[in-house]
Amino acid sequence: MAIKLIYVGAVRAGDLRVKALEQWYRDVPIRAERGAILDRNGVVLAASSTVYTLYARPVEIPLKEQAARILSETLELDYETLKGKLDSRSSEITLKRGVDKQKMLEIVDSGVPGIYVSEDIKRVYPYGDFLTQVLGFTSSDVVGQTGLEAYYDKFLQGTDGYVLTAADLVGRKLPEGETYYTEGTPGADMYLNIDVNVQSIVENAVERAMLNHSAKAVGAIVMECDTGNILAMAQAPSFDLNEVPRDDVKTLLEMSRPKLISDVFEPGSTFKIITSALAIEAGLVNDSKRYYCGGSMSVDNQKIRCWRPQGHGSQTFAEGVKNSCNCVFMQAAMELGVDRFYEGLAAFGVTEKTGIDMSGEGAGLTIPQSSVKNVDLARIGFGQAVAMTPIELLCAAAAAVNGGYKVTPKLVAKIEDESGILLTGEEPRGERVISEKSSEILRGMLEAVVLEGSGKNAAVDGVRIGGKTGTAQKYENGQIARGKYISTFIGFAPADDPEYIALFMVDEPVGAYYGGVVAAPYVGEIYLNMFEYLGYPS
């Protein structure tokens, strides 16, 4: 008996005390305020507003029919269902969540006994349909479901508080009972690298492209070339984060998926940036070397066409870049050879995730190196037989033109609470993949694409822009889908010392489909408006 008394009184005292408190007290939760999401300038992109959850303890309500009538009318609830709940033997029922202050006060002033109120949190997005796939949304319990809301949920969530009220066995508040209040801890605030003004410029461009080309989808990213900090990321179609279409699961899943980081596509001629970088770095390019394009090449007894049926004739590599000549890049890829080419692709991270701080990132796809034939190598050289995510392609292009350093794309700049900074998005400089000299040569070639070649629709007065167009056929069920294309353009500025790099892609445009016609103009517009906002040049 003595041993048992010691065991119960000392060893199990804590557990038994908790169980006793659970029986003696009824608790009403107080939802902690979720941390805000802000842009780099402190503009609020996601915030929390106070709403209320109403509870009822049936045993404290003597006139249940009268109470059910008042509550159902004020809260817009079904009378019969509510009366059934009030007639039940439940110690406590939830009447309604997300009640605004006015409705809550009406219930409190109605005089219905046995009603309890707790503060709750509702997520609010001031800009509505804006950064939808990046920000993501929360559940009805304010738990992150998609996007940054989900990825950084543990930081944004606070610690809930609660109110404990002494009650009897059936849940009635004791007349002389005590009430205890435990305050919650708010979640941390998150500051993004996103600039709300640049994001607005990009969102507008995406919407215009969607309408102007009757496209299936449009997406765009603007990133700092050296750091990987993302200033803007937008895609359409989309939806208002304040009106999440939860009743249509298929549409919700489709429109909330961050396709710019999750979906792979055949990049087409934008991939020539990578092939060019590898060829220049390998010393295969010089001013005297000539390449011939007769409109097609035969590789492994297969005829592979250039986009220009009549061919480009004799040209230097730089002219081949400007003309986006497939034959030049087929020859360059085969000169590099499988081993050297694949080593270069690995260095640029073509088949690896970039490490962007958001869930759902995909990774590029290539033919296994051991299975590559000459015809495959030739096609990869100009952007076929390889697939990449848009963010993966953009990061590889950034490394090619920023002096040769890989970058890790980052959406979040820092997360902080009252105690200080909890996390920063700063990344150390990535490894070098090509030399500064090779990168400089490539920048000059890509600036010529905008000045004189297929990307001239991206040109902007007063701003030096380099870039590359891309037009890729789509595949369905393993075969080329006739008449379906993805039009892309990657542009960086200023061309001689890039600060920013942008990708714009239009999925299945109707009518014109070349990247230089469909995508390039919007990158030019983005830079025009963006540099006007930034005051460049000063």
To the nearest whole percent, how much of the chain has pLDDT over 70? 91
Cis preceding linkage at 537, omega within 30: yes
* Residue ranges covered by each domain of the chain: 26-192, 196-534
> Which has the minimum average pLDDT: 150-159, 160-169, 200-209, 516-525?
160-169
Domain 196-534 in CATH: superfamily? Answer: DD-peptidase/beta-lactamase superfamily (3.40.710.10)
**Do 113 and 61 meet the contact criterion of CB atoms below 8 Å apart?**
yes
CB-based contacts of 36: which residues, under 8 Å, 6+ apart?
A: 44, 46, 47, 48, 189, 190
- Predicted confidence at residue 499, as pLDDT, reads 96
Region at 295 (left for phi over 0; alpha for psi -120 to 50; beta for the rest): left
- Predicted confidence at residue 295, as pLDDT, reads 95
| 315: β partners | 291
Per the model's pLDDT, the better-predicted residue between 276 and 181 turns out to be 276
Q: Is the pLDDT of residue 506 over 50?
A: yes
Q: Which helix (H) or strand (E) holds 514?
A: none
Q: Is the pLDDT of residue 402 over 90?
A: yes
Positions of E strands within 258-397: 291-293, 296-299, 302-305, 313-315, 365-366, 386-387
Q: Is the pLDDT of residue 170 over 50?
A: no
- Predicted confidence at residue 150, as pLDDT, reads 96
Maximum Cα interatomic distance, the chain, rounded to a whole number of Å: 103
SS3 label, residue 355: coil
Per the model's pLDDT, the better-predicted residue between 236 and 164 turns out to be 236
> What is the C-alpha to C-alpha distance for residues 74 and 120, in angstroms, rounded to an integer?
19
- Predicted confidence at residue 317, as pLDDT, reads 96
Q: Which of 118, 269, 324, 438 is catalytic?
A: 269
> Which has the minimum average pLDDT: 61-65, 164-168, 256-260, 300-304?
164-168
Residues in the chain: 538
Cis preceding linkage at 113, omega within 30: no
The arrangement of secondary structure in 26-192, i.e. its CATH architecture, is Alpha-Beta Complex (3.90)
Per the model's pLDDT, the better-predicted residue between 506 and 116 turns out to be 506
Tell the residue number behind the tokens 């709300």, with chain if given: 196
- Predicted confidence at residue 92, as pLDDT, reads 86
- φ, ψ for residue 95 (rounded to 5)? -80, -55
Tell me, yes or no, if 269 is annotated catalytic: yes
Q: What is the pTM of this model?
A: 0.86
Q: Is the pLDDT of residue 189 over 90?
A: yes
In tens, the pLDDT along 38-60 reads 999 999 999 998 888 888 888 88
Mean pLDDT, all residues of the chain: 90
